[in-house]
Amino acid sequence: MNRSHTISNTLIQLALSLYFIVLGVQEVSGSQQSDLVRGVSSLFSGNPAMDSSVQMAVGIFALVSGALLLLGVFRLVKGRAIDMFAAVIFLFWLLRIVYVRFILEMNLAGGTLAFYPNLEEWLLSLSHDILVLCSTFIILQLNRE
């Protein structure tokens, strides 16, 4: 592996770890509710107790994910542990994309395909989710080399 490849992979892992840490802090503090939390909450008819429980669980998962990925950047956690956790993140994010973007935010009503809130926002959100998913996949591949 050449030096530029190593630097770019490290930057991807660093960026992803910081993303999950910030996402986790926002969820745990209640300053922002993710679309996943809103979607899961809708399954339970907007029960406020369920909202905060789901939000806390998502926040803790994101914080732990970010912390482990960050420790992996500095080689404080070995590749196998990062590999296993990256696989969990990958599967979680893939399920999140399917559930939120394709089940909750796409609607076929009256023969017309509609996107929530609109097509442009939906495509932007989907692109963001795919970037996170691909970054996680890159980290998985790094630890297999």
Q: Residue 50: give the domain boundaries.
A: 3-142
Amino acid letter at 21? I
What does the pLDDT profile of the chain (145 residues) look like in tens digits?
A: 556 568 898 999 999 999 999 999 998 998 877 777 777 776 666 666 667 888 888 899 999 999 999 998 888 887 788 888 889 999 999 998 999 899 989 998 888 999 989 999 999 999 999 999 999 999 888 766 5
From residue 66, give the alpha-carbon distance in Å to each of 15, 50, 87, 121. Answer: 9, 24, 14, 26
What total number of domains does the chain contain? 1
CB atoms within 10 A of CB 94: 14
Q: Which pLDDT does position 76 carry in this prediction?
A: 86
Q: Where are the alpha helices (DSSP H) in 35-78?
A: 35-43, 48-73
Burial class of residue 35 (count of CB atoms within 10 Å of its CB; 0-12, 13-18, 19+): middle
Separation CA 94–CA 89 (nearest Å): 8
Model pLDDT, residue 98: 93
